[in-house]
Amino acid sequence: MPRMSALEASFCRSAPWGLVARRMVPWATQGFPVTGDVLEIGGGSGAMAEAIARAHPRVRLTMTDADPVMVEAAQDRLAGHPLVQARQADATRLPFEDESFDTILSFLMLHHVIEWEHAVTEAARVLRPGGAFVGYDLLASPMASLRHHFQEQPMNSAPITPGTIHEELERVRADFHALVTEATPADVHRLSSGTRWTNGQLLFHMFFGYLIVRRLLPLVRLMGRLPEPVSRTFARVLEAGTRLFHLINYFSDRGAARVIHGPRLIRWFDRTVEVLQAQLETEAAAALARGMHMPVSWDPYFRDWMSLAEIYHYGTQHYDHHRQQLTIGRPS
C-alpha cells in the first residue's frame, strides 16, 4: 500500500489532529452504536481510535495501519486504554479470521489504497452477520488531487510489490544485455544526452544504481527498527556531504567504466540482480514496509522517507531515467 505523504503523516501525529478526531468521530459515525468487537482500518497514529475509546470505553477496539511508524505512534497514544490494541496490517489482506468483528470503521484512508475494492471485500469477510462498515473518505476532487500531486504521493498510485520488483529486474536485465551487446565502439565513446558521461560511462552508472541498492538494504533494515529520529538525523548528516557524494559519484563512474565494460559489465550486472532477487525472496512483508529518512539532495528519486520496498524499486527508477539519456545507435 502507498504511504501517506510526509505532510499528512506529520499532521496525523499532531495535537491538532487529535482535537479534530474528537470532534469528527461523532459526526462520522452519525450516532451509529459502536459496540462489541470493533476494527478500525488505516487508523494512522491512533487519534480516531483514542477518540472512539473515550466515547465508547467498553468496546474492544483493534486499530490497524500499514505503516509501522504510525503503528508505533498509535501504540504510544493508546497505552492508557486496556481494551484497545494497535497493530500493523494491510487493509487488502487483513490478518483476522472470518466474522471476527461487529463493526468496522474507516476514516479518510480508502483513497490511499490502490485496490480499494479488495479492502472493502476484506472488511466484509471479517464482519459478523448483521455488522456494519462505517466511515467516510475524500472524493476525487481537484483540491484533493492537487494536494497529493504536490506531496509526490498521487491518489491510488501504483503499488510496489515483490512481484513487480522481480518483473522490473528481469525487464532491465534483458534490456541491459541488449544495450551492452549491441553498442559499437563509436556508441560507447559517444557523449550521452544531458550528462557529462559517455554512453559507456553512463551504462556503468546505470548498473551502479543497483550497487547502491545493495549497500542501502542493510542500512534501511537497521534504521527501520530504530526510532524515527535516528534515521532523520542520519539523513541530515548525509545531506551535509552532498557535494562530496556527487563528485565521487561522477569521477568514480568515469574510472570504473574503463575497467568494467562489455561482457564483464554484463556479468557484474547479472550477479547483482541475482543477489537482489534472492534477498527479496526472503523479505517479510513487515520488513518491506519499514524504512528510513533519506538524503533527498543525493538523487532526484530519493524522497524524505522511503520503505525497503521503495529502495528495491529505486534501482530501476534510476536505470529508466538514465536509459533515456543514452545516445546508442544515434548518428554522431
Instruction: List, for residues 198-227, the tens digit of each pLDDT value.
Output: 999 999 999 999 999 999 999 999 999 998
Write out the three cell numbers for 8: 499528512
In degrees to the nearest 10, what's the CA dihedral of 283, 285, 288, 292? -130
Report which DSSP code applies to 108. Answer: S
Q: What is the pLDDT of residue 152?
A: 45
Lowest average pLDDT, out of 87-91, 115-119, 259-263, goes to 115-119
- With 60 as the cut, is the pLDDT of residue 255 above it? yes
By CB atoms closer than 10 A (0-12, 13-18, 19+), residue 321 is: middle
Whole-structure pTM value: 0.56
Residue-wise pLDDT tens digits, 272-311: 999 999 999 999 988 898 899 999 899 988 988 889 999 9
pLDDT band at 1 (very low <50, low <70, confident <90, very high): very low
- Report the DSSP pairing between strands 305-307 and 291-293: antiparallel
Q: What is the pLDDT of residue 194?
A: 87
- With 60 as the cut, is the pLDDT of residue 184 above it? yes
- With 90 as the cut, is the pLDDT of residue 132 above it? no
Overall average pLDDT of the 41-68 stretch: 88
If you average pLDDT over every residue of the chain, what do you get? 84
- C-beta of residue 10 within 8 angstroms of C-beta of residue 70: no
- To the nearest whole percent, how much of the chain has pLDDT over 70? 82
Helix (H) or strand (E) holding 330: none
Q: What is the pLDDT of residue 15?
A: 54
Overall average pLDDT of the 145-164 stretch: 56
Domains, the chain, ordered by start: 6-150 (3.40.50.150), 165-323 (1.20.120.450)
d(C-alpha 3, C-alpha 326), whole Å: 33
d(C-alpha 35, C-alpha 292), whole Å: 38
Amino acid present at 77 = R
d(C-alpha 192, C-alpha 195), whole Å: 6
